[in-house]
Amino acid sequence: MTVPAGERGTTTVAPRAVRRIAERAAAEALPDGGSVLRGSAGVRGTSARISVGVRLPYPVRADEAARRIRERAAARTAALTGLSVPRAEVRVDALSAGPAPVVPEAAEATPGPDGGRPGARIRAERRVPAAVLAAVGAVACGLVLADVVAVRFGDAPAGWRTAMLDWAATHGPADSAVRIGGAVAALAGAWLLGCALLPGLRRRLRMAAPGPEVRAALDREAAARILRERALGVPGVVRARVTVRRRRAGVRAGVGYGDPAEVRAEAVRVLGAALPELGLARPPALRVRVRREAGLPPEPEKSEEPVESVESVPVSVERPEAAGRADAVTGQSAAGGSDAAVDGAPGARDARDSLRDGGEA
């Protein structure tokens, strides 16, 4: 017996269940050391949209890891819920230091059919402006609709509507209030047009993607953190401050020891090799400045003066027997008798004569 389609019932998968499935599926494709931070899901009819934020270990190819996570989350969510997943988003919200994962050579990204050019930029969702505009429009339309319905049922028009109409009838374009209101409306319209046309997300740098349908971006703070770690690994650098912009990366390094010129050359070499590893579509220009840290002693200069040899240093040797004999005969101390201190000096011959006479006596 076949039951009609209208009597079979319906199966509804809640967005919360879809979110949990997407988070678990994304965790299955994470590299070692990664974790799922948060996720969201929306269900409309037979389709679902999922978004997952993850933490990846450093260093790792963020674009390839995000692509694997996105494909795994979309496939598993569609298979377990029966819903189609036309759009799945993966956000790399944080990086964690850990051992470098082993990436096989075959997993390297290959250029897309368009020559490896990156796809379209990731556009901001503009949730706050959209919510504010929708709320203001809903309130205004609701008030006008309620007043029109009340008038249709025989009630008098609302006082705020009649007052607004009377005020507009008595004020023309030359009034200051009308001009100020027009300027505010023009600014609000320009702001809304900018939100609709400009891509936004100025804090993210566009990354090169292996295919035209893949879009990836790297946060500026994450790029600056990576470059700072590389700069601190240069011998002689004890402090580093890195600022990354869309077209330029500035590094200010403090040198604790070594020649600043040599430290700067090594820092330029190391950071220049680190920029392509970020995987950016347009690597920023590198600018490195170094200076010796305050409070640290300067490097001692090497002395080129020859060291005096031991043979050239005058050394005087005194016989204890002769000194004792002279003290016993003359009754003078070695410190007090300058004539007997050095043989050959004035008075030394008289001392010898006195010794001879004392011996004969």
CB 219 within 8 A of CB 211: no
State the pLDDT at residue 321: 44
Query: In 3-state terms, what secondary structure has residue 146?
Result: helix
User: What is the number of other CB atoms lying within 10 angstroms of the CB of residue 358?
Assistant: 11
Query: In 3-state terms, what secondary structure has residue 291?
Result: strand
Tokens of 9: 């019932």
Tokens of 34: 């990664």
Q: How far apart are the C-alpha atoms of 359 and 325, rounded to whole Å?
A: 11
pLDDT one-digit tens code per residue, 35-72: 888 888 888 888 888 999 988 888 888 888 888 898 99
Q: Which helix (H) or strand (E) holds 268?
A: helix 260-274
Q: How confident is the model at residue 2 (pLDDT cuts 50, 70, 90)?
A: low
Q: How far apart are the C-alpha atoms of 119 and 152, rounded to whole Å?
A: 54
Neighbour-count burial for 259-273, b at 16+ CB within 10 Å, e otherwise = eeeebbebbbebbee
Q: How far apart are the C-alpha atoms of 131 and 126, rounded to whole Å?
A: 9
Interval 218-239 mean pLDDT: 87
The answer, yes or no, to whether residue 107 has pLDDT greater than 60, is no
Closest by CA to 42, choosing from 90, 91, 83, is 83
State the pLDDT at residue 345: 44
* Alpha-carbon dihedral angle through residues 145, 148, 150, 156, given to the nearest 10 degrees: 140
Give the global pTM: 0.41
Q: Which helix (H) or strand (E) holds 89?
A: strand 84-97
The answer, yes or no, to whether residue 304 has pLDDT greater than 50, is no
Q: How far apart are the C-alpha atoms of 212 and 218, rounded to whole Å?
A: 17
